[in-house]
A = this chain, B = another copy of it.
Amino acid sequence: MSAAVPAAVSTVDTSWLDAIQWDAAGLTPVIAQEASSGKVLMFAWMNREALAQTVTTGEAVYWSRSRARLWHKGEESGHTQRVLDIRTDCDSDVLLLSIEQTGGMACHTGRHSCFFQRLTGGVSDGRWESVEPVLKAPAEIYQHKP
């Protein structure tokens, strides 16, 4: 006599990942905002795997469109981002991360924020002016250790 074996109850619920409206390329835009200062430090993209890894590790993992691979932010520079909070918007098609920025620099140019070009002037004489200091030269950030 064989007793019916109950199917294992799955405890993995990834419907929160399905709720995101991934675009045609499987990506969603991501805004990284520094928790302590409120400054928007950078903008990047995630796919499903990047978001899952971000939640699992607690550090920001993006999808690099130029390199077409997962990108653990800070993997070369050491400037990782600890993720404190993740939100999505009314359309569930953008993510907003609240982060702590290791090293105080999010930008590969060595600046605190990537948003360092400010528009001055009007529509007929506009100009993008660099308004944030370089804190560390990129050559120093990305030097390869022997």
Contact = CB atoms under 8 A, between A and B. Distances in A.
Given A16-B119, A16-B127, A89-B107, 18 more contacts: A11-B125, A12-B124, A17-B126, A29-B43, A33-B40, A42-B89, A43-B89, A86-B118, A86-B119, A87-B131, A88-B115, A88-B117, A88-B119, A89-B115, A89-B117, A90-B107, A90-B108, A92-B117
Interface residues of A, number: 47
Nearest to A94: B43
Copies of this chain, whole number: 2
Nearest to A39: B38
Interface of A: 11-14, 16-17, 19, 29, 31, 33, 38-40, 42-43, 52, 55-56, 85-92, 94, 96, 107-109, 111, 114-119, 121-128, 131
